[in-house]
A and B are shown apart, each in its own frame.
Chain A
Amino acid sequence: MREVVIVGVGTTRFGQFNDRTYVDHGVEAVAAALSDASLKWTDIQRGYCGQVPPIGPFAGNRVGHEFGLTGIPIQNVDNASASGNAAFHLAVMAVATEQCDTAIGFGVGQLGRMLDVPAGGEQLHRQYMAQAFGNPMVIFALAAQRRMHEYGTPVEVFARIAEKSKLYGSLNPYSQIQKRFTVDEILSARPIADPLTLPMCCPVGDGGAAVIVTTRQVAERLGAIPVRVRLSEIYGESFQQDTAWGHAICVGRAAAAFYERAGIGPSDLDVVQLHDATANEELEYYEALGLCGVGEGDRLVLDGETGPGGRIPVNTDGGLMSRGHPFGPTGLAQVSEITRQLRGQSGPRQVEGAKLGLVQQTGAGEVFYLHLLSR
């Protein structure tokens, strides 16, 4: 397949904005990515938009209309938390397989609006209620309880991960939460689902993000700092017999296959973006991605290895817990952050000399994306 290069990224500040629509967020993000790439909308040949109901239908087309009806085909994709990653993946594939030379993956989200509307109708609502699937943080809290039981993980480890997230978020002007928290403040904050408190969980918010990909030849003509998409893959959920929460096992299997195909190992990585809906989910993925051994995540956190100056900084823009997680744009924001890191444009949160970055994202435990980017 043809080499694919990222030439433009754009993100809005994520947050709760009652005076803005998802179209406003999308337009701002796409315009920022076009400006970053020194391209015009008419240069884009394919578009892929990450969105989740109830916004839309055709959320991407509604954003595109604001730039002009130029005949660009736009596909809207929904893969829950990983909808933005799906949009990015499809844009990469479109260029790699020579369907077009330049494509955009973008995403929009208004998560607050989504939570106001029961999804799936009365029967699905009953099925969720039967199983106590209400508070979305409960499933992660149960995994945290099991982790504490099996490994003796103290709750302070989860608080340290959240503390690191808030620190990075405070250094990112696009982050939804820009306030730093101490470990004590995190532990004494409003409980959501034991042992998780509010700062250990991703916030509800809105926003937009966009990434433009093209060929090496176009990138050189534009004079862009080249960030190469080394590999982009999607993996599906496999049945897990021995645990009630199999996401980390699925991510671990996906990562092993991904590293082999990419010809790298986790020790080659300089910076990572991963799905941290909650602090304990981030901990599980440290081990699943091979950033440390199984059962060694606690030590990795307590030694500060995933924070500023650490061996492998993770979620340097604040991640889902601080930058925010409006679903549709989340994966594009992840790719944007790694791109900025590899370009050396991340300011006070820059990982010095970063040359190889990984993006991981989970979509409702059903799909798992991995993207490898390099200078």
Chain B
Amino acid sequence: MAEDGTFIVDGWMAHSPGGRLHLTGQRCAECATYLWPPAACCKACGGQSLADIELGPEGALWAVTVDWIGSFLGRPNLVGQVCFPEGTFVQGFVVGNVDVPPKIGSPMELIPFEVPNRGGPLITYAFRAMEA
């Protein structure tokens, strides 16, 4: 359970003791690859010895676009891919103005993000450009 609602998928994200959001990733004991979302086996080597790790809350923007269809939010929105220092790429919503998306390479942070749902809103993560 998120502090302000229900996480959209159990086990994919959590709040750190300091209150910032992080993703719940994994590190393979056999090949040291970092993974997200959580999986049964390592995608790189098939190893089954996976330890939970905190991924984020900060990374660099790999790519960003405007989704003009707005499939889930019902309005155009930014979507981006962020590379975390561990080398893991994660796609998600990006908070910001669709007319002025953040630049590739920008430092980004994870924040909670509410998405609509039939049974009440759910909390996922989003990326937000950090202040310079």
Q: Please indicate the chain B residues that have their CB under 8 angstroms from the CB of A1 in the complex.
A: none
User: Which of B14-22, B48-56, B76-84 lies at the interface?
Assistant: B76-84
At the interface, yes or no: A135 with Cβ under 8 Å from chain B? yes
**19 A-B residue pairings within 8 Å (CB atoms):** A123-B9, A126-B8, A127-B9, A129-B72, A130-B12, A130-B125, A131-B91, A138-B65, A138-B79, A142-B63, A142-B65, A145-B63, A145-B104, A146-B62, A191-B66, A192-B69, A241-B44, A244-B63, A244-B81
Q: Which of A123, A133, A143, A244 has the most CB of B within 10 A?
A: A244
Question: Once the chains bind, are A138 and B67 in contact (CB under 8 Å)?
Answer: yes
Given contact pairs A129-B115, A132-B93, A133-B91, A145 touches B68 in the complex (Cβ within 8 A): no
Task: List residues of A (133-163) whose CB comes within 8 Å of B's CBs.
Answer: 133-135, 137-139, 141-146, 149
Question: Once the chains bind, are B72 and A149 in contact (CB under 8 Å)?
Answer: no
Q: A194–B104 Cα gap in the complex (Å)?
A: 14
Question: Once the chains bind, are B68 and A193 in contact (CB under 8 Å)?
Answer: yes
Contact-residue bracket for chain B: 20 to 34
Contact string, B66-100, partner A, CB cutoff 8 A, digits 1/0?
11111110000101110100010111110000000
User: What secondary structure prevails in chain A residues at the interface with B?
Assistant: mixed
Given contact pairs A130-B12, A132-B79, A143 touches B72 in the complex (Cβ within 8 A): no
Q: Please indicate the chain A residues that have their CB under 8 angstroms from the CB of B92 in the complex.
A: 130-132
Q: Please indicate the chain A residues that have their CB under 8 angstroms from the CB of B69 in the complex.
A: 134-135, 137, 192-193
Q: Please indicate the chain B residues that have their CB under 8 angstroms from the CB of A133 in the complex.
A: 91
Question: Once the chains bind, are B9 and A239 in contact (CB under 8 Å)?
Answer: no
Question: Once the chains bind, are B8 and A135 in contact (CB under 8 Å)?
Answer: no
Given contact pairs A244-B62, A244-B89, A134 touches B67 in the complex (Cβ within 8 A): yes
Q: Name B residues whose Cβ lies closer than 8 Å to a Cβ of A.
A: 8-9, 12, 33, 37, 43-44, 62-72, 77, 79-81, 83, 87, 89-93, 104, 115, 122, 124-125
Query: Nearest-CB distance from A51 to chain B (Å)?
Result: 24
Interface size on A, residues (CB 8 A): 31
Q: Please indicate the chain A residues that have their CB under 8 angstroms from the CB of B77 in the complex.
A: 132
Question: Once the chains bind, are B65 and A145 in contact (CB under 8 Å)?
Answer: yes
Question: Once the chains bind, are B68 and A142 in contact (CB under 8 Å)?
Answer: no
Q: A115–B112 Cα gap in the complex (Å)?
A: 28
Given contact pairs A126-B8, A131-B91, A146-B104, A241 touches B67 in the complex (Cβ within 8 A): no
Interface residue from A145, A193, A239 paired with B44 (Cβ < 8 Å): A239
Q: A142–B101 Cα gap in the complex (Å)?
A: 13
Given contact pairs A142-B81, A143-B63, A191-B68, A129 touches B104 in the complex (Cβ within 8 A): no
Contact string, A93-119, partner B, CB cutoff 8 A, digits 1/0?
000000000000000000000000000
Closest chain A residue, CB of each to CB of B76:
A191
Q: A111–B50 Cα gap in the complex (Å)?
A: 38
Question: Once the chains bind, are A135 and B37 in contact (CB under 8 Å)?
Answer: no
Interface residue from B70, B79, B122 paired with A142 (Cβ < 8 Å): B79
Q: A142–B37 Cα gap in the complex (Å)?
A: 19
